[in-house]
Amino acid sequence: MEWTEVTISSWEDYQRHVNDLNPKKWVFRGQSDLNWKLETSFFRAISSVRDIKASAKQRTHNRDGYEKEIINLFKSQYHLYLSYNPDNNADFIIELTKNSLDESSTERTLEWLSIMQHYGVPTRLLDWTFSPYIALFFALENATDNCCVYALNQERMQILDKSTFEDDYKKEIFENRKGEKSFLRPYEPKFKNERLVRQQGLFMVPSTNFETFDTILEQYGLSKDNCYKIIIPKDLRYSLFLMLKRLNITHETLFPGIEGFCRSLKLNLLETASNIKRLE
């Protein structure tokens, strides 16, 4: 996948590159290391699976089986911690009756995966946001060197998918088999958690567990004006953080409750480090 790479030199330079990208068409993802691949947590986790009963080849072919197993395990014990359940919540079922039965099953699985993703379970979902500034925040948050923000025209991808697949191809996201043409589906959960709302988040969901996110993107053949990789030099990190703070994009606003406050202390330390009293 060849991204159009641009390196910014200032806050104004970043604004110039992102402000003309329609938020109804584009999605963004920040990464703390510009050399990291676009990979889902499940794809990374499955690469380290060591099943003593299966060979490496068998483990590869069992990826869908591993995914089903971890989903079923999560569903079997989820009720011990939280009450909302995508399989029997009345409001969710009413919402899904607007769709076909098969699609409802797909939507429920995606809803389960979104909950799992929220609590740190490896899934095939990859986090994106509609906001280029929130994506910038996440790129900067844990960066120690140059970082980046990916910008992707997801509307163009859906247009290409509709010309290739049937109109209802999205419901087949868990039926896509190895060797078949793959696709990426943007997905917003029907019932969002507070963090997802604050972060203007959505997911991009690969239709297969057998190819990396980057490999599937390559199949779209997107022109360079539909995919950007905006590189942020490390010496801009602090000044960009301050500009985001002026926009009220902080740990406290992006993460609800005490989690956001605790995360903010790291940045507060960065801001006040020069004023910390030393032992005399």
Q: Could you write out the DSSP letters of every residue in 114-178?
A: HHHHHTT---S-EEEES-HHHHHHHHHHT-SS-EEEEEEEHHHHHHHHHHHS-TTGGGGTTTPPT
214 found inside a domain:
yes
What is the rounded CA–CA span in Å between residue 272 and residue 250? 16
The pLDDT assigned to 205 comes to 96
pLDDT 10s digits, 118-158: 999 999 999 999 999 999 999 999 899 999 999 999 999 99
Calpha distance 31→33 (Å, rounded): 6
Could you list the residue range(s) of the whole structural domain that residue 32 is in? 4-272
Measured distance CA(45)–CA(61) in Å, rounded: 15
Q: Is residue 277 part of a domain?
A: no
- Of residues 117 and 87, the one with the higher pLDDT is 117
Mean pLDDT, to the nearest integer, of 164-172?
80
Question: CA 131 to CA 9: how far, in whole Å?
Answer: 20
β-pair type (227-232, 4-7): parallel
Residues 55, 228 contacting (CB under 8 angstroms): no
Q: pLDDT tens digit string along 26-58?
A: 999 999 999 999 999 998 888 776 654 555 555
pTM of the predicted protein model: 0.85
Q: Is residue 198 part of a domain?
A: yes
**Number of domains making up the chain:** 1
Q: Which tokens in the block code for residue 148?
A: 């980046």
**Choice between 13 and 101, residue whose per-residue pLDDT is larger:** 13
Tell me the per-residue pLDDT of 199-254, one tens digit each, with 9 for 90 and over.
999 999 999 998 889 999 999 999 989 999 999 999 999 999 999 999 999 988 89
More confident residue, 6 or 260: 6
Answer whether residue 1 shows pLDDT above 80: no
In a domain, 278, yes or no: no
Share of the chain above pLDDT 90, in %: 53
pLDDT at 269 over 60: yes
Q: For residue 274, what pLDDT is reported?
A: 47
Query: Per the domain annotation, does 99 fall within a domain?
Result: yes
pLDDT grade, residue 168 (50/70/90)?
confident
Whether 258 maps to a domain, the answer reads yes
pLDDT for 279 equals 46
In a domain? residue 85: yes
Give residue 179's pLDDT: 67
Question: By mean pLDDT, which of 25-39, 53-67, 69-83, 257-271 is the weakest?
Answer: 53-67
What does each C-alpha distance from 126 to 74, 179, 236 come to in angstroms? 19, 22, 26
pLDDT band at 70, cuts 50/70/90? very high
What's residue 100's pLDDT? 42
User: What local confidence, expressed as pLDDT, does residue 59 receive?
Assistant: 55
